[in-house]
């Protein structure tokens, strides 16, 4: 059988993992919404100006309820005659008391972005 101390230890481990998942999951989902919006804007971006691309991202952000990143935070440039939209931001997630988790999110329309 399992001793009471073993059950308590496993309960604590499961609680810590659950707290991390509950706090981190919304931020990761927001990152994927931003990445999807950036890729959609870049896909329709040929022949458009930078301000047009920023306005298009703002419309996507309004529909998807993205408040983490604004259109002014995007880096827009051309590479090999393709529009590339890149972004990066940090998110600090408070966990317990003065302990927090810092996640550095970055991505681009070329698919070279990653959550770190």
Answer whether 41's CB lies under 8 Å from 56's CB.
yes
Q: What is the pTM of this model?
A: 0.80
- Is a pLDDT exceeding 70 seen at residue 59? yes
pLDDT band with cut points at 50, 70 and 90 for residue 48: confident
Task: Tell me the CA distances in angstroms from 95 to 15, 21, 29, 90, one per residue in order.
Answer: 12, 11, 18, 16
Q: What pLDDT is attached to residue 64?
A: 92
- Is a pLDDT exceeding 80 seen at residue 113? no
* Mean pLDDT, all residues of the chain: 89
- Is a pLDDT exceeding 60 seen at residue 34? yes
- Is a pLDDT exceeding 50 seen at residue 73? yes
Domain boundaries, the chain: 27-115
């Amino acid at each position: 059988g399992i001793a009471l101390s073993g059950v308590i230890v496993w309960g604590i481990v499961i609680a810590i993992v659950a707290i991390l998942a509950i706090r981190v999951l919304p931020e990761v989902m927001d990152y994927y919404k931003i990445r999807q919006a950036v890729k959609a804007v870049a896909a329709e971006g040929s022949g458009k100006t930078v301000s047009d691309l920023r306005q298009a991202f703002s419309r996507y952000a309004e529909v998807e309820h993205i408040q983490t990143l604004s259109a002014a935070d995007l880096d827009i440039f051309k590479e090999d005659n393709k529009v590339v939209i890149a972004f990066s931001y940090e998110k600090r997630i408070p966990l317990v008391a003065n302990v927090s988790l810092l996640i550095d999110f970055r991505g681009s329309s070329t698919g070279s972005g990653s959550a770190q």
